[in-house]
Structures are given as C-alpha cells and as structure tokens.
Structure 1
Amino acid sequence: MTLNNTVLGGIERVKQLLAYGKVEQKIDALLDAFEHGEAGLDLIIKALQNSEVDVQEVAYWLVQESTEPRAKLALQAYNPYLFFEYLFTIEKYTDQVRSIACVDISQELQTLVTCNYNNIIQVWNMQTQQVICTFQPEATKEFDQIA
C-alpha cells in the first residue's frame, strides 16, 4: 500500500501517515492530529514511542500543550533528556560533578556556570574546560538555581 494511491481524510489520514509516512509526513500528521480532539491526542501520545527521534520530539512538544490528565501522565512517563545535546564532559573534575546542584550555559555555548551543594559557584570556559573563576558566597546564602 502506498500513500500516493490512497485518498484519505481526517483522522484516518493522520493514522496512515503516522504508520507509513516519511519523517516529514509524520510530523505534519502530528500537527494535524492535534486538531482531532481525543483521538488525535491518543495518536500524539503514541508517537512519543515512535522510532524516529524527530517525530518523538514534535509529539513531546504537542503533548505539553494539552491539559488532559492522560497527557500529563504520558509526560511523566517520558524521558525528555533524549532531546538534550551533549556538549562536553568536565573530565578533570568528574569526582566533583556528583556534587553539582545546578548549571547554566551561556547562549553562545562558551561559558558554563556550576553551583555545587556547598554553594561554591564556578565559571568554566567550555572550550578549554578550565575554571575561569570561583565564587564562595557567605555561608548563610543558599542557591537552588543560577542564571
């Protein structure tokens, strides 16, 4: 069965494209599925398990748009770290990495800022993997995020 020889509309077309289409067609089908209510949401949630990472990513963002309880459950069971891009490993300091509480990366991907559980803040050059500077604030201050 080829999609070119089949004329379908609505939710059936979405199902066929998700099952047999190319990646671009599957992504377009997911965008269409969002307009088909509960049946479309079911297809989008199912697409979180698609073998194509690009399809999974679109499904992930669409499921986040839903307020349905089953969409929230699907998101809780899903691992979004699949979409994170590996930048580098701080190899010299791997024993210290376990103590890092929060991180921030500059928009141009040149600088990494880490804060550990002892509230020691370090600014890293991502190219050289070297610490540029270290801050140790007053003992009374606690950080749970940095930006």
Structure 2
Amino acid sequence: MGSVQKFIVYRSLTHHERFELQLEMGEDKRRWTVINGIPFDPKARRLAVEHPAVPSAGRERRRRSALSPLTGEPVSVWDAGEWYLAGDEGGYEAGHLRFRLQGALLQGRWALVRMSGSGAVERRPWLLIFTSVRDRQRN
C-alpha cells in the first residue's frame, strides 16, 4: 500500500446521511457504509460498517448516479480522488487505519478504528474519525 490509491465516496439518494466510502487497497476495494455523514470535526465519531472487499480490477466507470452494490439503493458520487497511507503499513489489519484524502470535497486526515468487542459478531464495526486538516510531514 505504499503507492497512491484511489478513493470514492457515494452518497445515498434515499438516506441523505448515509455514505459509502471505498478505498483501493492493492488488488481490492475496501468498503464501509458510514452512518450520519462524513465527519469534519475531530470530536465527532461516525459509525462505519465494513463490507466484504471486492476486486479493484475491472471497476466500473464513475457515474454521477448509480445503484449501490451493497444495498441496491440509488446513490450519487459525492467525492473521489486519491488517498495516502498516513500510518503504519499494517494499520488496516491491526484495526487502526490512518489516511489522508485528496479529493474535491475531502481534504485532510481521517482514521478508521475498529471497535473492540466480544461475542459472535462476524465483522466488528469501525469508527470514522476526522483527525486533521493539515498535512504534516512525518519526521
């Protein structure tokens, strides 16, 4: 994941505060449904439900509106651009993915943090957190 990857954010046309965040990670696209909008305040946390990865190869062209492959509901492309890893290479596997988005609307740093829990939950939810608007260089 050392190279630049693409991201896309879809917005539901029927549930206006529901978004789908897709991050290309190597050969796959990782996908999360984000409830209550994309956060722009570091104090805000948004529930992000991860869905199974799909192959990046052969992806569809970006259209202004489409149907979500997750829910079948109508969605529109809300933002798209490039994303950059801002943390450890193993952040996704460890449950704490830090990244920077460079899109038309989304500029800054976010983190996806897998929630801890017990029980028989197959896929634990994540939290999407806005961390910074500035792009600080790592020393």
Which TM-score bucket, shorter chain as reference? Answer: under 0.3
- Greater RCO (CA < 8 Å, at least 6 residues apart): 2
Question: Which structure has more strand as a fraction of its residues?
Answer: 2
Q: Tell me which structure has the larger Cα radius of gyration.
A: 1
Greater helix fraction, Structure 1 or Structure 2: 1
In the superposition, the TM-score normalised over structure 1's length comes to: 0.24
